[in-house]
Amino acid sequence: MSGVTNISQYSRYNARVARSRATSEPAWIRWALIAVSLAFLTLFLFVPLAAVFTEAFRKGYEVYLNALIEPDALSAIKLTLIAAGIALPLNLVFGVSAAWAIAKFEFRGKSVLITLIDLPFAVSPVIAGLIYVLIFGLQGWFGEWMSAHDFKVIFAIPGIVLATIFVTFPFIARELIPLMQAQGKDEEEAGLVLGASGWQVFWKVTLPNIKWGLLYGIILTNARAMGEFGAVSVVSGHIRGLTNTMPLHVEILYNEYNYAAAFAVASLLALLALVTLALKSFIEWQTARQASDNEKLAEE
């Protein structure tokens, strides 16, 4: 064991020497590259992020809080949570089943299914919204039938939920497919030979193996579901207190020159982004740590 450590320390030392002499650019190039990336990040990320919070608190803490607890804002927050709360479990089921089917089974039309899953990435969200207007709108295919039965999709919550599901459905499947393909189906087959039922194999073997990838997919889906603007904007109708989600509410406030309130609501969305990033790094750190722990023990 000590021999292994010595060798790896030695090679690490070697690598450091090599980097400083043979394979490295001159110092001024390295610093210039770092400066360019930092300037870019500052301009496009840090400054806007700081601006959101300074603008939100410009008129004081009370204005900030009032902007968040006034009824229209609360209803926008509620609607956003409802839309995400419905879209998330549905896409969870769809994403896991699609990834499971694609990664573990051979069937006709598999490549078509993979392409279809990517569709929401390729289509503009506005078009996605328009599709639902064309189908369920008053002049749409089912419009007359639905208005006759007093059932509203467009300019109502169902439309918002539908649009949110559409734009978020690739995230979980996309996250899981490469992971499940890499893991293969050996473990599932081992489970079957040992007498486990299909459900037992799924709960005891497949799910634990994909849990970190799945969590990552859920976080991304949630972030997108809460932040989606384009598709939701088309189907929502912007009725205050009824069909406004948080991003739409921000836009309305901003258009009314109510900057402090607009940024206050926007700061919530920015916070959501920060929490998402923190969770994402935590998951990556967890998986990396597990891998290195295992390596150490296997070497013993």
Partner 1 sequence: MSIAIKNVVKNFGSFSALNDVSVDVPSGELVALLGPSGCGKTTLLRIIAGLETPDTGNILFNGTDTTDRDVRERQVGFVFQHYALFRHMTVFENVAFGLRVRPRSTRPTDAEIHRRVHELLELVQLDWLADRYPPQLSGGQRQRIALARALAVEPKVLLLDEPFGALDAKVRKDLRRWLRRLHDELHITSVFVTHDQEEALEVADRIVVMNHGKVEQIGTPQEVYDKPASPFVYQFLGNVNLFHSRVNAGRASIADIELQIDSHHDTQDSAAFAYVRPHDIDIQKERGSQPAFEATVTYVHAIGPLVRLELQRADNTELIEAELTRERFRELDITEGARVFIQPRNVRVFLDQKSA
Supply the minimum distance, in Å, between the C-beta of residue 293 and partner 1: 8
- Window of 204-212, 215-223, 230-238, 241-249 that interacts with partner 1 by CB under 8 A: 204-212
Q: Based on the shown chain and the rule CB under 8 A, indicate whether residue 208 belongs to the binding site for partner 1.
A: yes
Taking the least distance from each CB to partner 1, the nearer of 196 and 270 is: 196
- Interface mask toward partner 1 for 131-170; x: CB under 8 A: ----------------------------------------
Of the pair 58, 204, the CB lying nearest partner 1 is at 204
Q: Which is nearer to partner 1, 66 or 209 (CB)?
A: 209
Matching residue, tokens 């499940």? 180
Is residue 75 part of the contact set for partner 1 (CB under 8 A)?
no
Q: How far is the CB of 187 from partner 1 (least distance, A)?
A: 5
Q: Does 14 bind partner 1 (CB under 8 A)?
A: no
Stretch that binds partner 1, among 13-21, 164-172, 192-200, 230-238 (CB under 8 A): 192-200
Nearest to 266 by CA among 51, 44, 47, 60: 51
Tokens of 269: 């969305």
Distance CA 277, CA 160 (A): 25
User: What residues have CB less than 8 Å from 150, skipping those under 6 apart?
Assistant: none
Q: Is the Cβ–Cβ distance between 180 and 99 less than 8 Å?
A: yes
- Tell me the Ramachandran region of residue 214: left when phi exceeds 0, alpha when psi lies from -120 to 50, beta otherwise: alpha
Return the structure tokens found at 177.
């497919």
Q: Which of 129, 159, 170, 191 binds partner 1 (CB under 8 A)?
A: 191
Q: Cα 259 to chain center, whole Å?
A: 27
Do 65 and 265 form a contact (C-beta atoms < 8 A)?
Answer: no
187 touches partner 1 by CB under 8 A? yes
Q: Where are the beta strands (DSSP E) in 64-177?
A: none
Cβ 205 vs Cβ 130: under 8 Å: no
Complex with partner 1: residue 108 or 149, whichever CB lies closer: 108
> Which of 70, 118, 189, 256 is the binder for partner 1 (CB under 8 A)?
189
CA pair distance 80, 250, nearest whole angstrom: 12
For position 256 contacting partner 1 by CB under 8 A, the verdict is no
Residues that bind partner 1 (CB under 8 A): 186-187, 189-197, 200, 204-205, 208-209, 291, 293-295, 297-298
